[in-house]
Amino acid sequence: MLFPGVDLLDVTGPPEAFALLRRELPDVAGYTVVLAAPTLEPVTTSAGVRVLPDTTFEALAAGRIGTLIVPGSVTVGPDGQVRADADPEVVGWTRVLAERSARVASVCVGAHLLAAAGLLDGRRATTHWSTAQQLAADHPEVQVDPDPIFIRQGDIWTGAGLTACLDLSLALIAEDFGEAAALRVARQLVMYLKRTSGQSQFSVPLEPVSSTRRMEGLRHHIAANLAGPLGLTDLAQAASLSERQLTRIFRTELGTTPAAYVEAARVEAARARLEATDDTLDRIATVCGFNTTDTLARAFRRKLDTTPSEYRQRFHHSLLAATPPLTPSNSLDVHRG
């Protein structure tokens, strides 16, 4: 949905991911992206870039929509406080178009529009961390969780801030065309790992892109061998470097030590398994290279200030596993409203 002041990345991010799917898998049906606005006049985004709509809300409401994607906009007050906007006209059209949609997904502060339209009543939802308190105060009937990067509740999806629109887009692609397709798109987007829904907006820092082929190769070696020996000596041998050289390169390129990097990588792998599988903690500790559940628990405390059991209780999403993926033959087109 396009409207004045809409966040530009919210508008352009998902279509870019959908276009890469077509490039990666030219034989699949892919998505048809449609930009809709109140009128056919160019829409000026928050970045000052003007976007030309394909159709109007009224015309779009006459048909069926596969996925309605609702971006957001904010107003920054003189005190620097950020508040999400919810223009009544846009809220009204959101409600109308949602009734014509197989699924609805909000991007960033677009969750405020869904809430104002009554679509999030009784549901758990997320939004950008900076407006989470506003969402909870304005809509107490919504269970606001500012931590995950996206949340799915039945046919309603809500995404967190800005670049999390790409994670949400990848999740939609995975549901429609499978995990392998989503991972291929993630690779083209230079997203080192496709993050799952439970991953926190405030979590283990995302890894910076290393500047040398040797370090990039070593990072992939670590990711592929988490259950194996990854001590300083092992990594130095794998990189054909001295231990002193390796330590210096990690500090220079990644701003951390080899041991801290390996622990962070293992924690991320354990998080993914806690979110998406029913593996025992013993199994996860072994597969992710911690060997014992005590070591796993200590790493979680250091990195996330929680325990593996508490993390699983909060972020395990059995609903995703219970919903069969759509195939290219029966998936609906995505209309980017």
Catalytic residues: 108
Contacts of 183 (CB under 8 A, 6+ apart): 194
Residues 173, 11: Cα–Cα separation, whole Å:
17
Angle in degrees, CA 174, 99, 39, rounded to 5: 95
